[in-house]
Structure 1
Amino acid sequence: MKIRLILNGSKRDRQDVQEAITWIRQHHFFALDVRYSESPEDFPLLVTDAVENGVERLIAGGGDGTLNLTVNALMAIPKEKRPELGIFPIGTANDFATAAFIPENPRQALITAIDCCSVPIDIGQVNERHFLNVASGGFGAVITAETPPELKQMLGGAAYLLTGVLKLFEFTPIQGKMCVGDQCFEGSAYAIAVCNARQAGGGMVLAPNAYVDDGQFDVVLYTLDSPPIPEDLAPPSSVLGWILPFKKIFRVQEVTFIPEEGVRQINLDGEPYEADRFEFRIHPQALNVVLPPNTPLLQEA
């Protein structure tokens, strides 16, 4: 199998990353092909070049943002030509990799990305953009965006809790309309998350029972309203859950959200995205992704 690693250029000088690559080249007896991305615009070109050169497995080396850019580039390729996607999680949060039980140690993570089998998983789409993990808006997105990197380095997950407490009393709930099929309702929400996988924001578990191969989103609302849709009232399971314990979840294939105040920003796998209307749909089993055999994200792991 022809394998190529696309590595976030900002991780180029990390000693543990280079040691992992060197170890693979010495002990797996093949010269792992590595290409570096220097900007978001590089990903379509890097993925297209990989396809044209017969790469069968493409490993994304970076955080959730690097995964998002790689997935968007892969989804632009016809399905029958898409390489498998391996994950080398060396970013700040690595939410998808953590939820999938991909090892944190760079060497073990790279071994997993090379040696484990791939499985077809679902990919989310909002308007023209795709996402692998979670699309989030409202209070959770504010916490993710406004927690200083220096604070995260000092406090880890507790940094999000501190930022959440500081921002809670100045945050205005989102007003808007949500439509699921022919059912629409209007109301307010402190946070909204459309989840393919389970967690975001550096370890905040939003949808603890989500699977990436069930052909559905777990849509999470932190709201005091009562949507006219069957729902599960989930207990607090993360920093955000303790701050906003009124979490409701329902499972759908498509959902539309129209904010009352016009253009809003959401996070797609941690990457900012703006629109005045958000139309979500799921692409079942759209991409073959390498996951460890003990991952909890599959219905039949």
Structure 2
Amino acid sequence: MSELRSKAEHTAAIHAERRVCVVVNTRSRRGRHRYPRVVSTLRSEGFDLLGVFPVDDPKRLRATLDTALDAKPDLLVVGGGDGTLSAAVKHVAHRDVALGVLPLGTTNNFARSLGLPLDLTGAIRVFRTGKVADIDLGIAGDREFANLTSFGVSVEVAGTVKPWLKRVLGRAVYPLTALTVLPGHRPFRAFLTVNGKRHELLTHQLNIANGRFHGGWQVARDISIDDGMLVAYQLGSGKRLRLLLETLVRASTGRWRSLAGGPFVIGTEMYLETDPPMAADVDGEVRLRTPITIRTVPNGLRVMVPQSFVDS
């Protein structure tokens, strides 16, 4: 862990020297088409590009991020979806470099949680006019994550969704794909221990969120990626119809309740057991299984955000 400058010093360095490295996932059509514009816009905004790295092979993403960080930029600009940004989070965590997010994915949950503009020009403008903030980092088992750990239907949906369908349907592809997965999905029993209290539930879907958004829609009106808390919530119950109706209502209206109104469990650390044991989707990567401990590390990640972002 390197010694960090103050946020004000780091912000001043980015504004004055504009030393950046750029990593863009060009495997997706959106990333490939927008990559030249990303580079030209950054140059026109006066940024000193220490290194520019298009990545068309996901297996090379981590090595490319290491190479970019070796150039010692003040700002590491990363373009891609939530999976690409999750990989970048693991590299930037606890280091004296800020992550600059270019939202080039389908749902852009992480960018939405940071209050970033979702258009390319607006997102790049934040690098020039915004500020450095320290936000919470989630840890699931031994893996860092930025936004969400989920269990149940969404794990199967993530493995079923076709890239071409995401390009055509956008955010709607997830609830629509869930309709095809749900008829054959069996509910599971989850036991969640938080602050010494054990909660038991029967459900098809359980989410534990660090960020504010899931599937492109807000989890709750008063959740924050910078409040030091995780929020656990289920969609529906053990009833398929209830999950289906709840998913469709939220996907079509974006209507979510306040944390105070439930049904949410809030804490800094959660221990989850499931019957049967289940795979965990950690920011799009399915590599862990229950039982699992999930916790937050306050101020574990340095990012570039708009001046309006409330940084605690």
Q: Residue 165 and residue 186 in structure 1: after superposition, are their counterparts in 2 closer, same or farther (change >3 A)?
A: same
Moved more, 131-140 or 147-156: 147-156
Aligned partner of 2:123 among 80, 99, 109: 109
1:38 Cα deviation from its structure 2 partner: 4.6
Number of residue-to-residue matches in the alignment: 284
Find the counterpart in structure 2 of residue 231 from structure 1: none
- 8 Å CA contact retained: 2:21, 2:75: yes
Find the counterpart in structure 2 of residue 61 from structure 1: 79
In 2, the alpha carbon distance for the partners of 1:278 and 1:269 equals 15
Aligned partner of 1:238 among 204, 225, 250: 250
- 8 Å CA contact retained: 2:78, 2:100: yes
In 2, the alpha carbon distance for the partners of 1:240 and 1:124 equals 28
Amino acid corresponding to residue 5 of structure 1 in structure 2: V
Find the counterpart in structure 2 of residue 142 from structure 1: 156
1:123 Cα deviation from its structure 2 partner: 0.4
Q: Give CA deviations for 1:267-293 in whole Å, capped at 9, x if unaligned.
A: 222222332322101000111111123
- TM-score calculated relative to the size of structure 2: 0.78
Determine helix, strand or coil for the equivalent of 2:22. Answer: strand
- 8 Å CA contact retained: 1:4, 1:32: yes
- Higher share in helix: 2
In 2, the alpha carbon distance for the partners of 1:279 and 1:63 equals 26
In 1, the alpha carbon distance for the partners of 2:192 and 2:47 equals 53
In 2, the alpha carbon distance for the partners of 1:249 and 1:169 equals 26
Percent identity over paired residues: 23
- Mapped pair 1:160 → 2:174: yes
In 2, the alpha carbon distance for the partners of 1:129 and 1:27 equals 35
Q: Residue 142 and residue 294 in structure 1: after superposition, are their counterparts in 2 closer, same or farther (change >3 A)?
A: farther
In 2, the alpha carbon distance for the partners of 1:199 and 1:144 equals 16
Find the counterpart in structure 1 of residue 34 from structure 2: 16
Determine helix, strand or coil for the equivalent of 1:209. Answer: coil
In 1, the alpha carbon distance for the partners of 2:288 and 2:228 equals 25
Q: Residue 4 and residue 122 in structure 1: after superposition, are their counterparts in 2 closer, same or farther (change >3 A)?
A: same
In 2, the alpha carbon distance for the partners of 1:132 and 1:125 equals 9
Determine helix, strand or coil for the equivalent of 2:211. Answer: coil
Q: Residue 193 and residue 125 in structure 1: after superposition, are their counterparts in 2 closer, same or farther (change >3 A)?
A: same
Q: Residue 5 and residue 11 in structure 1: after superposition, are their counterparts in 2 closer, same or farther (change >3 A)?
A: farther
Find the counterpart in structure 2 of residue 229 from structure 1: none
Q: Residue 299 and residue 236 in structure 1: after superposition, are their counterparts in 2 closer, same or farther (change >3 A)?
A: farther
1:160 Cα deviation from its structure 2 partner: 2.8
In 2, the alpha carbon distance for the partners of 1:156 and 1:10 equals 17
1:143 Cα deviation from its structure 2 partner: 3.4
Find the counterpart in structure 1 of residue 46 from structure 2: 28
4+ runs deviating over 4 angstroms = 38-41, 234-237
In 2, the alpha carbon distance for the partners of 1:132 and 1:49 equals 22
Find the counterpart in structure 1 of residue 21 from structure 2: 4
- The within-5 A match list for 1:67-78 is 67-75=85-93
Q: Residue 162 and residue 266 in structure 1: after superposition, are their counterparts in 2 closer, same or farther (change >3 A)?
A: same
Q: Give CA deviations for 1:151-186 in whole Å, capped at 9, x if unaligned.
A: 333333333332233333322112232211322244
Find the counterpart in structure 2 of residue 250 from structure 1: 265
CA root-mean-square deviation? 3.3
In 1, the alpha carbon distance for the partners of 2:112 and 2:224 equals 14
Q: Residue 153 and residue 41 in structure 1: after superposition, are their counterparts in 2 closer, same or farther (change >3 A)?
A: closer
Structure 2 gaps of 5+ residues are 1-16, 239-245
1:241 Cα deviation from its structure 2 partner: 9.2
In 2, the alpha carbon distance for the partners of 1:50 and 1:122 equals 23
Determine helix, strand or coil for the equivalent of 1:238. Answer: helix
Determine helix, strand or coil for the equivalent of 1:156. Answer: helix
- 8 Å CA contact retained: 2:106, 2:171: no
